Amino acid sequence: MSTPAPGSVMRGAVDLSSLRNRPAAPATPPAEGAAPAGALPLVFDVTDATFGEVLELSRTVPVVIDLWAEWCGPCKQLSPVLEKVVTELAGRLVLAKVDVDANPQLAQGFRAQSIPMVLALVAGQPVPLFTGAVPEQQVRDVFAQLLQLAAQHGVTGTVPVAGAADAAPAEEPPLPPLHAEAFAAIEEGDYARAITAYEKALAENPRDSDARAGLGQVRLLDRVQGADLQAARAAAAADPTGVDAQFVVADLDVVGGHVDDAFGRLLDLFAALPADERAPVRERLLELFGIIGDDDARVVRARARLASLLF
């Protein structure tokens, strides 16, 4: 993600020009189980043919895009989390699900190099969010930042929720105080305060996996804030073994969804450095592994290569 977290750093990482002017599909009767007229489902499938309608909807309410496939295990872990959080937000976001196998044009337009891949549309513009199965708290944090970004662009609408008038609002359990402090800081774009709060939470409970994941994510967001990808790539090309220069590009690649590129860059750097200069690169790799998730296939491959370089 980018300014307050999703935005300027990553905007443009996805090219929708080939899809933007796609004619809308002809109207079809509502499918069995669809929401009644006047109430839009909060979670729905989108296809190559219906994507134009989703672009238009994003001018009213932020649309989260979940790129998945039936064979993808991490997708099956992440999708219920996305649906739960979107449902709890009660119409402030909607979730559009894209089966990449059935919709190759959308997969190509979104540059889906790996899945699950989650991004958003705000006023017709793509905002990449994250890849891989991430913890629920991280999803909540990212969606909070997305709503802030959407508000900055005037996208503050909601969609009517079927049955909302009759249903009592679900009570969400309160966050632990330090998590709540970090969450509030992230919403304000104050990453330094969020980092401090998560660090305190980990000092109190080193096994707090949500705090560990949140800390890694917010450190990454803090590092890329205001970074210029083109300038960073030029600096890295001019200094192939410059640790700081390579770190910036790797961070931006992770934020932009190019996780394999980021890992490959850092592993190449690790291999090229003398043994006594490798520790910071290993530490950065381990931090990024934690952000992406230990079960992610890209992390598994990168860990295997790192181990081969160590022994």
- Give the active site residues: 72, 75
- What is the CA angle 136-253-210, rounded to 5? 20
Q: What is the 3-state secondary structure (H, E, C) of 70-120?
A: CCCHHHHHHHHHHHHHHHHCCCCCEEEEEECCCCHHHHHHCCCCCCCEEEE
Residue 37 in contact with residue 183, Cβ under 8 Å?
Answer: no
Give residues with Cβ within 8 angstroms of 102, minimum separation 6: 47
Residue 185 in contact with residue 191, Cβ under 8 Å?
Answer: yes
63 membership: H or E segment, kind and range: strand 63-68
3-state secondary structure of 129: strand
303 membership: H or E segment, kind and range: helix 297-310
Q: To which residue do tokens 């190099």 refer?
A: 113
Q: Which residue, among 18, 76, 69, has the nearest Cα to 48 in the 3D structure? A: 18
The Cα 11–Cα 204 span in angstroms is 37
